[in-house]
Structure 1
Amino acid sequence: MKRLFILVVLLAALVTGCKSADLKVLEKNLQAGFAQTGQDIKVQVIELKNLKDILPGFAFVEIKIYNNNNLVNTERFITNGRYFAKDIIDSKTLSSLKDELDFEFAKVETIDTSKLTLASGNKDAKNVIVEITDFQCPYCKKANALFKEKLADKSDYALYIVHLPLDMHPNAQIMAQIFEAGMQMGFNFKNELFEADYIKVIESKIEDLQEAGTQLNQETLAVLIDEVNNQIINDFAAKTDNPDKFKSLVLSDEIKTKVDETKELAENLNISATPAFYINGKAISGYNERLILKALDDIK
């Protein structure tokens, strides 16, 4: 986990609140520092939230940097006017204060869900969850289990799936196609797909090949993965009322295109890793349980 740990000295006894004058001092000091470069750089410090209730004397601010009157950079910090830090970590929970504040002040994205598959909830719900996922991603599995538990007693939500099967997960693409084919035929295999562990099946087959003295190469592995993909299709086809139709649908251009279109959506959102979520338009990157729970608490 990439996390910036910064030691911040809190002078709470000397500071009772983060006043606008304190932020002006920060703005002035930064401006003076940039002036030494000889460039036409202007600094603007904007208070987003006074943190007096949780961190007396500090505020969450946005610092904008202008070069020749053009905005060139925007960063958010926690500051008391003189000192500023990128993040503060709660030593008890090891959670990031900045993550929570960034989520609170996150830009709300409008995502077109008209072509996405509704995995749970109802289309007319007030709350919209977009889950960008990979059925073989370990943290995606954790996220699915969390959603399954926390949404069980809620009704006013719509959860849509965006597929982003990663190359490192050999069966993720076919599992995405199985999900879409299942939904089209009235079978929701979402939880079963996440709970399945076909990586172990591949590992077991590799061990068998090695014990048999078979030399492993790219071609051998490709054949093995195809075998497991067919096994997965057959396993889930057996759960339907029309296995032959299901198998044909899984491998159809229609379903492949459906999955590819959701991958394009993820790419357009500049997402290249899983899991990621948009809960009522606000982004959460990675399996950040604390932020996910905070967002789900607002859903009834």
Structure 2
Amino acid sequence: MVTSYCNFHKKPLFFHIIFTKHIILLTKILILDKGEIMKLKKLLATTIAVSTITGLSYAQETCLSESPVSISKIEKELKPLLGNAKPVSVSTSPIENIYEVILEVNGRKIPVYIDCSLNYLITGEIIDVKHKKNITRERVIQLKKEEAKEKAKKVSVELKKFLGAEKVEQLKNIVGEIGLANFSLVDVKNIPSKKAIVYGNKNSNLTIIVITDPECPFCKRLHNSIKEVLKDKNVKFQLIMYPLPFHKYAQGLSEAVVCQNSNEKSKKLLDEIFENQANKEKLKEISEKYKCQEGKDIIETHKEFAENVKVGGTPTMIFIIKEGKGLKISGAYPSEKLKQIIDVIK
């Protein structure tokens, strides 16, 4: 099962080129209409003219050996350029005389390309024009699945120590084997209690911390699931506001929610915000109307808690499975799946 959440580390996608011994021009190939083809012709004409003026020339080079290049050789040649990136595999690519190199950066694997002479290192996308396939993107998806599967295996071992093998198997049946990659055990300390926003039974034996952003569309999805779950489940959901910096009104909206003078009023306002999430004028109005200094201070404690449990995006739930220990689950789950997870953990 694939779940979604607003990623704190969301960044725009760029295409790069890194120079080793020579200069190379990298062009992204797209499927174009007639108007775009004319624009592309003009761009290429300009590129050729610039190349002529600057006196650049490109020599045809071929691999002299049939033997595949080794990872150690790649690492040695590119060490000054790689920083904290580490080559973990090298293989042939769909383009003759170009190798695919998988780099591991901060635990994530990404494909780059290098020619057989090790003169040109290229980062970008290979697109199969004939078959209309983005080969690089497909490779990235494959690598992510492999990473998730590997992580899920490790998570499964850890969870068995706290939940037992039977419950872990039940969770696997609910979310799928790869779905366990969204689970992790965390130490839970100093849960913010001042102006706590609680949905459900505050005296329930099961507390679920929900780290949410009022402007995150996936948080809205989970919020609706929570309200459905509470129709027939006796649990406590305690909300922690974690406004993400790329959501324009999230900070002000979060402050507005905790500035209310009762739990019921906080819930009512948060419900209103999620219901009107697409109405940016409404969000702006609410974010400016109810802010207070106390709210700002409270949101800072909420952010500190979220960062301490290493939240990478919203929504994130933490099931308190015993004192000081929680099961962290990332992503927005539909109500039926969430009910099943609760039944296993409770």
TM-score, normalising length: structure 1: 0.49
